[in-house]
Structure 1
Amino acid sequence: MTDTVLDRLLRYVVIDTQSDASSSAQPSTEKQKDLGRVLEKELLALGLTDAHLDEHGNVYATIPANVDKPVPVICFCSHMDTAPDFTGTNVRPQLVRNYQGGDIQLVGDPSRVIRVTEHPDLNDQIGHDIVTTDGTTLLGADDKAGIAEIMTAAAAILADPSIRHGAIKILFTTDEEIGRGADKVDLKKLGAAFGYTMDGGRIGEIEDETFSADGVVIDITGVAMHPGYAKDRMENAIKIAGDIISRLPKELSPETTEGKAGFIHPVGVTGAMESAKLTFIIRDFTEEGLKAKEALLKGIADEVIALYPRSSLTFTVKEQYRNMKVVLDQYPDVVDNLVEAVRRVGLTPERHSIRGGTDGSRLSFMGLPCPNIYTGGHAYHSPLEWVSVQDMEMSVKTIIELVKVWEERTAG
């Protein structure tokens, strides 16, 4: 069994683990367990005797403490699934050794090019070894780079008794890409006080804030009628749905917002004359902003349906996740210790907000405060996805320094 972070990444990304939002099962695809079984076997081979894959596809393991004082138990977490946005079947990773600048043309589909103008972080990668796809699939560095980094760090920690640490928990989840990554995690069994997801991007970036997120479903019931005799009788549910969408404020859409600005985003439209369904995701960094956007959407829907007196609609809001900063601010040591670890590996820590969510969002509110650490990956969810081997190695070093910081800062 090879043990470099690159070897691990190349071994993991060829396993198809895409999740499927249309499935109600957990995991949503059984193939996610294919990677889970590989990781279980590798963890057992490292000597972690409690390593196991549960019925939901989650993998758990423990690195025992090698100190006597009661250091808080910390967890490192990554997800095994890849995004449904682009195919993850038959991934053929490509290695560009000693990158010397310029655009990278992908060999499987020459029309796909990782252009420096669109990926300026390439300017920081001169001399690095870069892993890409062949252009026909996504790579899956989101989040198999994180898995490879956790596994490599675990092997290094176990091999070097001079790295003093408390108990360390390892958790690999399923279905994160479809918003269910923490649904079946057993925190009591995990037994950690604090956690870190390895699911970020550019090295040096610490993500301690996420969107708060809700989903909205608008079900519309119209009045179907033969179009030849429809005058003053038909109320077409498709047109009602279209009217609602057309009234959405353009300044509150993903394509016009950035930074801390939230949005209202339609993600699905289905229907016929008699009924239609609209699905939305609502995002904001504050609870107040989230509720204001939902109220605005509800107002638009009510205004439109009032124009169709024989039709009706229902407006259903489902909570998805909340801004983890609300929880993390109550436990400053979690981020402070990470900042120190980042400095120790020679990077400048940069605290960032995620215009999205991670398992850490859900886990934080479930009782496991959990910021996000960089993996070195870029252009996630696309065939242009890439990651630097040297940046992954830096992430491994960060994990190792972080467990040392927790041990050093715990009073004996």
Structure 2
Amino acid sequence: MTDYQYTVVDRFLRYVQIDTQSDPQSPTNPSTEKQKDLSRVLVAELHAMGIADAELDEWGYVYATIPANTDKADVPTICFCSHVDTSPDVTGAGVKPIIHAHYDGTDLVLPDDTAQVIRVVDHPDLAEQIGNDIITASGTTLLGADNKAGVAEIMDAANYLLTHPDIKHGRIRLLFTPDEEVGRGTEKVDMAKLDAQYGYTIDGESLGTLEDETFSADAVSIQIHGVSTHPGFAKGKLENALKIAADLLSSLPKDHLSPETTEDRQGFVHPTRMDGNQDQATVEFIIRDFTEVGLLEKETYLQNQLNEVLKQYPNSSATLTVHQQYRNMKQVLDAHPAVVENALEALRRSGLSARQRSIRGGTDGSRLSFMGLPCPNIFAGEHAFHSRQEWVSVQDMQHAVDVIVNVAQVWEERSS
């Protein structure tokens, strides 16, 4: 693809300026209508490429087909998937992308908030980017590389395949989802309509990585019922639900079991939201581990901590409810080795040192795998996601386009 004029950067710069932030508190599908603003752009661009069946459904999902151009009848249909929404953690409105051309290895100071400095010591992957072109936001928003880098890469790969019919491939399905960042990215996927045998999310970090294992994940909601009374006459009566919640949070360990104190294969218990009043309060958590046994241990630990706190408030009560979010996709992928092996071959063909690893997180592929679409995660080049210091390399995005094209070609070649 050395003679190809990539479109991935132009697409990416346009996409990140469309605010698509999702909302975990919204009950609607998608959680925010503005996610469809980007999805409509994608459908229009796919139509312009000649993909007549590209469509946006009522739930905010984009489906499209690149028809097979091979004589082989048994090539599986593969799907490439990315999500259009950005994290609720940091605003995605008014993104001003900046290209730092020919990166020289120094810290990057973001101009609209000079307190935001992307320091090499904090971002060791920058050491591999000397001479490349780095894209950041301006310091007051996230960039949106998670996952608009993946969206742009899939779109450019589709453009390449449609303009290079000499690259033989089977039927390819494209899927762009909403609400991945709030854990609902596959909630309304129509698997019959998608009609694919294997898939790949393009939503990973470092160049050359393939992730075939994710956390298993649960959400926990604790509803606390205190004893309310007028504060002027509260002695010996009031049991403040907010104080109970605060005591529970204070009881959690400071040196382990939290995101800020764990790494590698260590799981965690992470409070994400608290609200209420003296009568009732709600505390929400996410629980993460690579095994379901580990999840249960952490949920039992949290229940025991809650029970201990409630001993100090004899007239109050609380209920702990667990909601399953997703499970470690390796349980499924191990039964379908070709989906990983073909991706590793595509990475090698792209001139990359393939690195197979676990991810301390999840992707749409986690759920899709358990919905019948074995779906590992290929790098998109995104770094420091969910923060104002998010960045991506132009060259890494171009490599991701190469990998997507090569994945399609490998599947065709290895079919009989």
Partner of 2:268: 263
Please tell me whether residue 15 in structure 1 is matched to residue 23 in structure 2: no
| SS of residue matched to 2:23 | coil
**Which residue of 2 is the match for residue 189 of structure 1?**
193
Distance 1:64 1:278 in 2: 48
Unaligned runs of at least 5 residues, structure 2 = none
Q: Shift of the alpha carbon at 1:123?
A: 1.5
2:89 aligns to what?
Answer: 85
4+ long deviations beyond 4 Å: none
Question: More deviation in 265-274 or 86-95?
Answer: 265-274
Q: Cα RMSD (Å) of the superposition?
A: 1.3
2:404 to 395, 399, 409: 399
1:182-215: CA deviation from partner (whole Å, max 9, x where unpaired):
1111111011001000000111111111111111
Aligned: 1:113 with 2:111: no
CA deviation map 1:300-357 (0-9, x unaligned): 2123223323211111111111111111111111101111111111111111211111
Does residue 309 (structure 1) correspond to residue 314 (structure 2)? The answer is yes
Shift of 1:101: 2.1
Residue 227 of structure 2: aligned partner: 223
**Quick check: 2:6–2:398 contact (8 Å CA) kept in 1?**
no
**Paired residue for 1:334?**
339
How many aligned positions are there?
410
| Counterpart position of 2:142 | 138
Matched, 1:272 2:293: no
**DSSP-derived class of the 1:170 partner:** strand
State the match for 2:60 in structure 1.
Answer: 57
Whether the 8 Å CA contact 2:8–2:153 is kept in 1: the answer is yes
**What amino acid maps onto 2:388 in structure 1?**
P
Which consecutive residues of structure 1, in runs of 5 or more, have no partner in the other structure? none
Q: Does structure 1 residue 374 correspond to structure 2 residue 379?
A: yes
In structure 2, distance between residues paired with 1:145 and 1:410: 30
1:149, 1:186 → 2: CA distance? 23
Equivalent position SS for 2:412: helix
2:356: which partner in 1?
A: 351
100-109 or 178-187, which deviates more = 100-109
Shift of 1:388: 0.9
In structure 2, what is the equivalent of residue 94 of structure 1?
98
Q: Corresponding residue for 1:363?
A: 368
1:42 is matched with which residue: 40, 45, 51? 45
Tell me the CA shift for residue 3 of structure 1. Answer: 5.9
* Distance in 2 of aligned mates of 1:242 and 1:387: 38
SS for the counterpart of 2:204 is coil
For 1:204 and 1:229, locate their aligned partners in 2 and report how far apart those are by CA, in whole Å.
Answer: 65
TM-score w.r.t. the length of structure 1 is 0.97
1:151 counterpart = 2:155: yes
Match of 1:166 among 170, 183, 189: 170
**Alignment partner, residue 321 of structure 1:** 326
